[in-house]
Structures are given as structure tokens and as C-alpha cells.
């Protein structure tokens, strides 16, 4: 499961994602630090197009071509890697339209208190912090007004030892050595990339409890990552 994630720093982004761009990344219009990327919001992706790799904005929540409304993407923010190849909404995108989803961490919630009604957010990320890439799939959807919209979904797999105490699923985090395979612009047999759909090595990953501010999608600022004790003093 991945319901929120972060991309807070641009440092090393071009090198980490092996991008080929003709201008400094800091000059690109897409960039601003994101402390709490939420479903249906625009976020950066690197799509497998026939061109030098570049970052572009897409809407989180894949909208199939036959969908009646853009809002239907809110239900398709994640795709289970084990079954995406059999799902009508995902199978063509998995075979033909894959992308990297840049991030530097993601959130999960632990249920506590009576009847598990208290949800405590945790930020899960590599330490030291660095840019990572989730395995994503993207799609094109044409609105009734004739406007094309690019949307995407994040593939998930079983949780590793760091995430498992919080949730049984986590995003697929691609090894940089596998970026070329994942971004091959040609059609791919999904069974041929099944080995990429595995939990991230837990070594070097941590889960830190953070401010309940992150529960609100419109909170997109550094305070989202404050420890809860500090957040209560604000």
C-alpha cells in the first residue's frame, strides 16, 4: 500500500534517476519540494517514452481510457504487482507504459487505541536520505472536452521487515540497475519483469513516527515530518 509519499530534495535527482535533460533540474517548472504527496495530486514521473529521459508531471491515480470521469483514478492509486497483468485497468499499461515515480520516502499508519481508531503516521525512508524510484505505470485519458491527461499508479508488493509492523504491503522500489529494463519503451511480457516486483532490502531503511499533520492531504510542508512531541507543542 502507498497512500502518501515524499520528494523533498532535488539534490542528486538527475544523477540518481539517470536523466538526460538539457537544462539544470532546478530550472524545470515541475519542481517544488513535496512533503505529503496525496492521491489525485500532480507529481513527477519519468515515463518510458522514445526520447531522452525527462521528468514530467502526471496525476496520481490511474484513469483507464474507458473511464467516464477523471475522479475514477482515486480508486486506482496502487496496483498489486502480483495481479496487475490480469486486471483490465492495469494490464496494458504494465506491458507498454511503465514509469519511475521519484520519491525519498512514504507514509504508513499504525492503528492504536481502543478498537484501533487512533492512526499514528510513520515516515518510511532510506537512511541516509536519498532519491529512490517506485515502479509505476502510466496511462492517457481524454476528457469529454478533448483534453489529454497523464495519470499513474504505483505498483505494490509484500512488506519488508521495516514496513511489516505497520502494513502488509509496500511500494515496489526499483534498483537503479533495473531502470533500463523497467523503462524499455517496447512492449514487455509482464512475466519477464516479475523478478523486479520484490520487497526492498530492509537494510538502511527506517520508520519514524511523524506529526499527525500528515493526515491532512493539504498539509504539504516540512512540519509534516516533525516528531509527534514537537507537533503537539505547535
Catalytic choice (11, 23, 56, 108):
108
Buried b (16+ CB within 10 A) or exposed e, 152-165: bbbbbbebbebbee
Query: What angle (nearest 5°) sits at the alpha carbon of residue 82, between those of residues 76 and 84?
Result: 40
Residue-wise DSSP of 29-51? TT---EEEE-TTSEEEEEE--SS
CB-based contacts of 233, cutoff 8 Å, min separation 6: none
Q: For this structure, is 219 an active site residue?
A: no
- Give the domain CATH number at 150: 3.90.1680.10
Task: Give the separation between CA 189 and CA 54, rounded to whole angstroms.
Answer: 24
Question: How many structural domains does the chain have?
Answer: 1
Q: For this structure, is 99 an active site residue?
A: no
| Full pLDDT tens readout for the chain, 234 residues | 689 999 998 877 777 777 765 444 444 566 789 999 999 999 999 999 877 788 889 999 999 999 999 999 999 999 999 999 999 999 999 999 999 999 999 999 998 867 767 889 999 999 998 999 999 999 999 998 999 999 999 999 999 999 999 999 999 999 999 999 999 988 888 888 999 999 999 999 999 999 998 999 989 999 999 988 644 433
Strand 148-158 relative to strand 56-60, pairing: parallel
SS3 215: helix
Range of the domain at 229: 5-233
Amino acid at each position: 500500500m502507498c497512500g502518501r509519499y515524499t520528494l523533498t530534495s532535488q539534490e542528486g535527482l538527475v544523477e540518481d534517476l539517470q536523466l538526460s535533460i538539457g537544462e539544470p533540474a532546478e530550472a524545470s517548472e515541475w519542481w517544488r519540494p513535496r512533503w505529503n504527496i496525496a492521491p489525485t495530486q500532480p507529481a513527477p514521473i519519468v515515463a518510458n517514452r522514445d526520447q531522452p529521459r525527462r521528468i514530467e508531471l502526471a496525476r496520481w491515480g490511474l484513469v483507464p481510457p474507458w473511464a467516464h470521469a477523471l475522479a475514477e483514478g482515486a480508486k486506482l492509486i496502487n496496483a498489486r504487482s502480483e495481479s496487475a497483468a490480469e486486471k483490465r485497468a492495469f494490464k496494458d499499461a504494465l506491458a507498454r507504459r511503465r514509469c519511475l515515480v521519484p520519491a525519498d520516502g512514504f507514509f504508513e499508519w499504525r492503528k492504536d487505541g481502543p478498537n484501533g481508531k487512533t492512526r499514528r503516521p510513520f515516515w518510511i525512508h532510506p537512511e541516509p536520505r536519498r532519491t529512490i524510484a517506485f515502479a509505476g505505470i502510466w496511462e492517457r485519458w481524454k476528457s469529454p472536452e478533448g483534453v489529454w491527461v497523464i495519470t499513474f499508479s504505483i505498483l505494490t508488493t509484500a512488506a519488508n521487515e521495516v514496513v511489516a509492523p505497520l502494513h502488509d504491503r509496500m511500494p515496489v522500489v526499483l534498483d537503479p540497475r533495473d531502470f533500463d529494463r523497467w523503462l524499455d519503451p517496447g512492449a514487455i511480457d509482464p512475466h519477464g519483469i516479475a523478478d523486479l516486483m520484490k520487497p526492498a532490502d530492509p537494510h538502511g531503511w527506517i520508520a519514524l513516527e511523524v506529526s499527525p499533520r500528515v493526515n491532512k492531504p493539504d498539509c504539504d510542508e516540512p512540519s509534516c515530518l516533525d516528531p509527534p512531541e514537537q507537533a503537539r507543542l505547535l
